Copies of this chain bind each other. A is one copy, B any other.
């Protein structure tokens, strides 16, 4: 059976605050799970600085290399929010005061005691040929330009906005992922894992040791686009680890034992 080809994706987290350690990124992990659930293969993620030329270069490189790119951060009203202009420059598209974005922002601020001043008006500046991404929380839209999806850095807002575009993304085959919890160190079962791995070309077997006070073990994660082959490889791991004399049990990704 030939391997189905899923859409590929990259994430660009834009923010000095992540690189300084002040803020811990939550968007890569959250988006990674969502993309996987959609059958989109996340191939890489980068954290870069609030630097115009770096943003332009990174967007150009990754939008050429992958089917989809998602950025987070840098689309607010302040001077350090330079993502919109830089993404537009990467595609050589002018930024305009977008009538629909402006309409939404005017309506939003009419319901608050906040002034729709020049700084906030900047959030209506969108690349001319872009499609808006709705922001159900705070109105200021993101946008799609080419294959680049521009989202904000605040996790709650990014999440709400991603849920809105999610259904319009190209879907793929959702990767099957089966965890075999093994009650032994990974060094004890490394040969078993390598042997099973060698039998299944389209299946990937990852080995993740874990430690708790007085306990240790290995989570063996078997994943692949072919559900039957993946399940078969996981069963082989389970039975061979048991033959070796250690506990092994197939559990689902979330840790719930399969019935």
Which residues of A approach B to under 8 Å, CB–CB?
A: 16-25, 28-36, 42-50, 54, 76-81, 114-115, 117-120, 122, 154, 156, 175, 177, 185-188, 190-191, 193-194, 197, 204-209, 211, 221, 223, 253
Query: CA–CA, A25 to B50, complex, Å?
Result: 21
A53 to chain B, nearest CB (A): 13
A185 to chain B, nearest CB (A): 6
Say yes or no: A48 contacts B42, CB within 8 Å.
Answer: no
Query: CA–CA, A31 to B25, complex, Å?
Result: 13
Say yes or no: A78 contacts B32, CB within 8 Å.
Answer: no
Say yes or no: B208 contacts A23, CB within 8 Å.
Answer: yes
Q: Which of B114, B154, B223 contacts A187 (CB 8 A)?
A: B114
Minimum CB distance partner of A48 in chain B = B44
Task: State the copy count for this chain.
Answer: 2
Say yes or no: B21 contacts A186, CB within 8 Å.
Answer: no
Minimum CB distance partner of A34 in chain B = B21
Say yes or no: A186 contacts B46, CB within 8 Å.
Answer: no
Say yes or no: B17 contacts A28, CB within 8 Å.
Answer: no
In terms of DSSP, what is the predominant structure of the interface of chain A? mixed
Q: Which of B25, B77, B118 contacts A28 (CB 8 A)?
A: B25
Q: Which of B24, B25, B78, B190 contacts A186 (CB 8 A)?
A: B78
Q: Identify 7 residue pairs between A and B in the complex whose beta-carbon atoms are under 8 Å apart, listed by A's number.
A: A19-B45, A21-B31, A21-B32, A21-B34, A77-B186, A77-B190, A122-B190
Query: CA–CA, A115 to B190, complex, Å?
Result: 12
Query: CA–CA, A112 to B185, complex, Å?
Result: 12
List chain B residues, Cβ under 8 A from A197: 79-80
A8 to chain B, nearest CB (A): 11
List chain B residues, Cβ under 8 A from A211: 154, 156
Say yes or no: B47 contacts A206, CB within 8 Å.
Answer: no
Say yes or no: A117 contacts B16, CB within 8 Å.
Answer: no
Minimum CB distance partner of A47 in chain B = B45
Query: CA–CA, A6 to B218, complex, Å?
Result: 40
Minimum CB distance partner of A33 in chain B = B21
Say yes or no: A187 contacts B119, CB within 8 Å.
Answer: yes
Say yes or no: B21 contacts A187, CB within 8 Å.
Answer: no
Minimum CB distance partner of A152 in chain B = B209
Q: Which of B79, B188, B207 contacts A117 (CB 8 A)?
A: B188
A-B interface, 3 closest residue pairs, ranked by CB to CB distance from nearest: A119-B190, A21-B33, A21-B32
List chain B residues, Cβ under 8 A from A76: 186-187, 207, 209
